[in-house]
Structure 1
Amino acid sequence: MNEKRFAGYTSFRYLEANKDYKLYDLADEIDRVPLFSLELTVEEEEKVQDIFTKHPIVSMRDHGFIVPRQYKDILPYCSDLHTSFHYEGISKSGVDVIFENFMDGISTITSKNGLKWQDVIYLLGIRYADIQKQQTVYIASTYNDLTKAKRKKQVALLPSLEAASILENEVDRVDILYGFGIRCMGITYNEANTLGSGLVEKHDGGLTNFGRRVIKRMNQIGMLIDISHCGDQTSLDVIETSDDPVLMTHAGARALWHTPRMKPDDVLKACAEKGGVIGICAAPNTTLTKSSPSHTIHSVMEHFEYIADLVGINHVGMGPDTFFGDHVALQHAFDNMLGISASHSGEEFTESSYVEGLENPSEAMKNMIGWLVKNHYSKKDIAKAAGGNTMKVIKKVLT
């Protein structure tokens, strides 16, 4: 369905493995788990295909990143310069635009593994070099760049950072990151930084004075702001401070699942009232609901329906946040290293090993859109949620 160009390239094929870079054993299968089917009718399949053909399909958070097979390799691999991208899997996604942070450890594990500012430039440069050698994806910098993806039969990657921690206390680094292609940046990850409080902090002090300076600079230069991992007060402060709409690239509703990782109604409403968009997350063991004891596409889409009813269809999108390989193992590795797991606390549940129907990027957006078709949403509303709403914000902010 609307597959993109793929010529067989695998990451760093131009180098010699275990000489120029360390070769890890990667979980590179596309069909890692049993095949999932929505059991769409022929007419429904045709409707899904029509949407993919005629409308922009935007994933507000997904990853071409491939998780190592061995748990012990995950953290060393994430800190390595040469992390592999699953070009074949992304080519099968049918997606036109992906907000991609390359899973290189820039913003999530900086404080714990010793990454420095210069490492950010190295990591981005290595990724961009690899991208130059293939035909499936390309780096986008402007709204117009993104609109070319469908015609080119490629996937436009919008370079993003999960958090702004790497800024430390230097606002000019926003400009430098922009110069190196970053077009969307989160304010915090789960823990606090010099800008504000992350969602696992017991006391949320809100946006700092430095954080306000960063928001102003991001507005000035034309960079999208993401509050997916911010604390509630910090989120509200960012929304109020920003002149531009603010995004939650991958989130869910706390009213359905009471954990810090989900967002309360007042924050969701504030985001929408400012013109922002909330991308519905499908990272394992996040967007659960009381009616779905295991994590499946159905629990994820319960969050979609709740938020769409709360803020309106014009302010929802899709941010699956999927990988190739064992996402749960990756979560555990990061939580164990950071010494936190509070983002998933607050509810008792049996851990799901993956999200049924949303296991990796090759199927995530297809199945989320297919679910909407199956549940009788109009083409107009599906097109908005599939990418139209996000593209509207992008057009306003990216200059």
Structure 2
Amino acid sequence: MNSPAAKPPDYESFPYVTRGLDYSAVELADPSHRRSTFAPGLDVADRERTERLLAESLVVSFHDHPQLLPADMGDIDSFLRTKQEQTAFSELRRSGLTAVFDNWFGVIGGTRRSGWKWEDLVTTLGLRLADIAHQDGVVVARRVADILAAKREGQLAFVMGTESAAMIENDLDRIDVLYGLGIRQMGLVYAEANTLGGGQKEAADAGLTAFGRRAVARMNAVGMLVDVSHAGDRTSRDAIDTSSTPIAITHAGARAVWPIARMKPDDVLLALAERGGVLGIEAAPHTTLSHDHRAQSIESVMQHFVHAVDLMGIEHVAFGPDTLYGDHASFQHAISDVLGSSTVFDPGGLDVEQVTHVDGLENPTENFRHITGWLVQHGYSDTDIQAVLGGNILRLLGEVWR
């Protein structure tokens, strides 16, 4: 164990305080470790085109957790209760990303196993903003112009978001408070029903509540992006219909490709596109599989992409990989053990080949380089590639953010 004064490479965050003295911390995974073997079959010209597209394009991850996981999953309980989350800033700078929608662990950790409450959320948000403020070349994006400026100046922009609105309880003014503190995207529901609506985990989804409709209206008014990635089907459709601006499914896949509740049915995806919304394709372990690829890899993930493009139109599709640095698959199982349920990974009774990692999409550093290479390999135009790498998200934000 490192001495309190030591600051090993895995602890870049919070450089103004001392690990072990000002806060407790566990040993973290090596952020540079790679297990993926995927490499698109590109010739020299296509490799050069891939690098050019990454360099020229606005590259936006619609959903990621750019923090590091513990090296030992036996430390998971302590890890979840630590509000000073450690971000792999050096790795992110090598990723080619212009911006990342940063959604932290508030829905499954914090001081209570039942999930974070209002104080936990605000405290962690303040700590995240303080950490980012002390990092070179890293900014918080509150307007589209901030993302564009980050691209021009070679910076990395963080968009603050949260996966659940449960922490606002029944107080609409808390939406305004979160907006004032920098939150620009919020999921209505995380898996289980709350005061706003039904979650994907519920056997029955009654749709948006009366309070949920008021919350969507307030989010529209203040300029916060509505996300229904973890909402139930009816709640998702209600939110699409209720919102006065387009909404998002920042990280999911197509149920027509892999029939589990975590994926979205075609009618929801079509409704999303018809109202101008954008779907971010998910890549967390054991989510976007397919009948052709029961061991999840970039190939199964891209089957969801192809289906979504064919169904919705390419102008409504992007990528929200939902990845971390470290052993994500083991993290899923550790979380399930901590919570005493299969909240994180539920195969829905299907025959799944469990994987140690999603080959080709293991973490935020490699995701968009491999996605771009795959798109080049499969003959997509520069215009279409730039749209799905970030252009579609920027268009959506321009219609939503105030």
TMscore range, shorter length = over 0.9
Where do 1:47-126 residues align within 5 Å?
47-101=49-103, 103=104, 105-109=105-109, 112-113=113-114, 115-126=116-127
Q: Unaligned regions of 5+ residues in structure 1, if any?
A: 1-6
Structure 1 position 173, deviation (Å):
0.5
Q: Tell me the residue number matched to 2:27.
A: 25
What SS does the aligned partner of 2:113 have?
helix
2:67/2:88 contact within 8 Å kept:
yes
Which residue identity does 1:81 align to in structure 2?
Answer: K
Q: Tell me the residue number matched to 1:397.
A: 400
Structure 1 position 79, deviation (Å):
2.1
Q: Does 1:378 align with 2:377?
A: no
What SS does the aligned partner of 1:340 have?
coil
What SS does the aligned partner of 2:251 have?
strand
**Counterpart Cα distance in 1 of 2:139 and 2:26:** 25
Which residue identity does 1:149 align to in structure 2?
Answer: A
2:108/2:116 contact within 8 Å kept:
no
Structure 1 position 341, deviation (Å):
2.2
1:8/1:88 contact within 8 Å kept:
no
Q: Tell me the residue number matched to 2:287.
A: 286
Which residue identity does 2:297 align to in structure 1?
Answer: T
**Counterpart Cα distance in 1 of 2:288 and 2:281:** 8
Which residue identity does 2:95 align to in structure 1?
Answer: S
Taking structure 2 as the reference length, the TM-score comes to: 0.94
What SS does the aligned partner of 2:199 have?
coil
What SS does the aligned partner of 1:344 have?
coil
Q: Tell me the residue number matched to 1:10.
A: 12
Structure 1 position 333, deviation (Å):
2.8
**Counterpart Cα distance in 2 of 1:99 and 1:31:** 23
Structure 1 position 36, deviation (Å):
3.2
1:161/1:184 contact within 8 Å kept:
yes
2:10/2:31 contact within 8 Å kept:
no
**Counterpart Cα distance in 2 of 1:250 and 1:341:** 19
**Counterpart Cα distance in 2 of 1:263 and 1:272:** 13
Q: Tell me the residue number matched to 2:353.
A: 350
Q: Does 1:239 align with 2:240?
A: yes
**Counterpart Cα distance in 2 of 1:79 and 1:162:** 17
Structure 1 position 362, deviation (Å):
0.4
Q: Does 1:39 align with 2:35?
A: no
Q: Tell me the residue number matched to 1:4.
A: none
Structure 1 position 271, deviation (Å):
0.6
Deviates more, 1:91-100 or 1:120-129: 120-129
1:106/1:166 contact within 8 Å kept:
no
Structure 1 position 74, deviation (Å):
1.9
Structure 1 position 226, deviation (Å):
0.6
2:36/2:358 contact within 8 Å kept:
no
**Counterpart Cα distance in 2 of 1:114 and 1:255:** 31
What SS does the aligned partner of 1:112 have?
coil
**Counterpart Cα distance in 1 of 2:254 and 2:277:** 15
**Counterpart Cα distance in 1 of 2:29 and 2:109:** 22
Q: Tell me the residue number matched to 1:218.
A: 219
Where do 1:58-207 residues align within 5 Å?
58-101=60-103, 103=104, 105-109=105-109, 112-113=113-114, 115-207=116-208
**Counterpart Cα distance in 1 of 2:379 and 2:65:** 29
Which residue identity does 1:394 align to in structure 2?
Answer: L
Which residue identity does 2:244 align to in structure 1?
Answer: D
Q: Tell me the residue number matched to 1:3.
A: none
**Counterpart Cα distance in 1 of 2:156 and 2:32:** 18
Which residue identity does 1:74 align to in structure 2?
Answer: I
**Counterpart Cα distance in 2 of 1:84 and 1:9:** 6
Q: Unaligned regions of 5+ residues in structure 2, if any?
A: 1-8
What SS does the aligned partner of 2:306 have?
helix
**Counterpart Cα distance in 2 of 1:148 and 1:285:** 36
Go from structure 1 to structure 2 and tell me whether the alpha carbon gap of 1:50 and 1:171 turns closer, same or farther (over 3 Å shift): same
Q: Tell me the residue number matched to 2:274.
A: 273
Taking structure 1 as the reference length, the TM-score comes to: 0.94
